[in-house]
Amino acid sequence: MNNKFLVGIDVGGTTVKLAFLDEEGVIKEKWEVETNRKEQGKYIMRDVSDSILQKVIQLGISNEQLLAAGVGAPGFIDVQNGVIIEAVNLGWKNYAIQEELEQLLNIPVVVDNDANLAAGGEKWKGAGEGAENLLAVTLGTGVGGGIIAGGEIIHGDSGMAGEIGHIAAVKEQGAPCNCGKFGCLETVASATGIARLGLEAVQRKPEGYLKKILDESGTISAKDVFDGAKNGDVVSISVVKESTDHLGFVLANLANALNPETIVIGGGVSKAGSFLVDYIREAFNRFAIPKIAKDTTIRIAELENDAGVIGAAWLAKQKRTFL
């Protein structure tokens, strides 16, 4: 391996995904290490650095072939200074991650929110390839988001731009959200929210596919709701419609304000594929300005678990360009 490499690092609660990519964004090597959350996560970056340096030796390349590293992490981040203000799941608070990793690896490091970097990955090599204006939404346990305008991630004044999951989507008597508010998009469009809606629906109307699943397993998942809807189950369809009505409404209003070329839908819920997109599109078209509805493409994310490391490398490449 005689090339130069960008390092992509995607920090999750269970594992840290790592990759070496060339300057065109092609993954040349990827692997994972366990996220060591002991003592407020103070060993995580040391483990990551050790693993990277071991991989350098294993592949027979030199440290000088590493150009720069990008790190995606959950939580609130001071992007300019590379400091994690708070990442509850990892125990990090006011943690100078950029400074530590630059000292350990001796290369430039850039840090951003994991949802922003997933958006960057999809913009560089995924469903939004080539789009200078892109909105990415991750529908997982929660709802994350990233906004790219003019080819740049939008951070806002305090780095909080893109918190799509906490837009108020349900005005009256919404469910409580982890953020302390009620009726956030996350409560109705995340995998957790869809499962809750499914359970409530089958308790109100105990019949059909969801009743069968509830009787068998004692619980309802988002996947159960979509499986039922795809097979024509009336209760499941009503849940999908309720969830995607809220999601389509929020995305349409964001598109009216931002005018993205592409909206990319990722996360576990996106495995429902074109079935999900069709329902979102129906609501989106109702609420978006007609020209925006016509010109905006809605796609399922393509990079899956690689989006974070590819986006991290994309950001590292950008940082290196300005050094």
234-254 pLDDT, tens digit per residue, is 999 999 999 999 999 999 999
Q: Are strands 66-73 and 5-11 parallel, antiparallel or unpaired?
A: parallel
Q: Which CATH number fits domain 5-121: 3.30.420.40, 3.40.50.300, 3.40.30.10, 1.10.10.10?
A: 3.30.420.40
Give me the residues of the chain with pLDDT under 70, please.
1-2, 320-323
Look at residue 1 in the predicted model and tell me its pLDDT. Answer: 58
What are φ and ψ of residue 53, in 5° steps? -70, -35
CATH code of domain 129-302: 3.30.420.40
Q: In degrees, to the nearest 5, what angle opens at C-alpha 97 toward C-alphas 24 and 156?
A: 75
Write down the pTM of the prediction.
0.90
**What are the DSSP E strand ranges found in 15-132?**
15-21, 27-34, 66-73, 76-78, 83-87, 92-95, 109-113
Look at residue 180 in the predicted model and tell me its pLDDT. Answer: 86
| Distance of alpha carbon 60 from alpha carbon 57, whole angstroms | 5
Look at residue 21 in the predicted model and tell me its pLDDT. Answer: 97
Of 127, 131, 116, nearest to 295 by C-alpha is 131
5-121 against 129-302: fold identical = yes
Give Cα separations from 147 to 116, 188, 215, 245, 255 (angstroms).
7, 21, 41, 21, 11
Decide: 149 and 156 in contact? Cβ < 8 Å. Answer: no
Token pair 């349409």: residue: 252
Of 307, 320, 323, 322, nearest to 124 by C-alpha is 307
Token pair 């990955």: residue: 121
Structure tokens that stand for 122 in this block: 């999809």
Crossing angle for the helix pair 44-59 and 97-105, nearest 10 degrees? 30
For the chain, give every domain's residue range: 5-121, 129-302
Look at residue 322 in the predicted model and tell me its pLDDT. Answer: 52
Residues 75-110 have pLDDT tens digits of 889 998 999 998 877 889 999 999 999 999 999 999
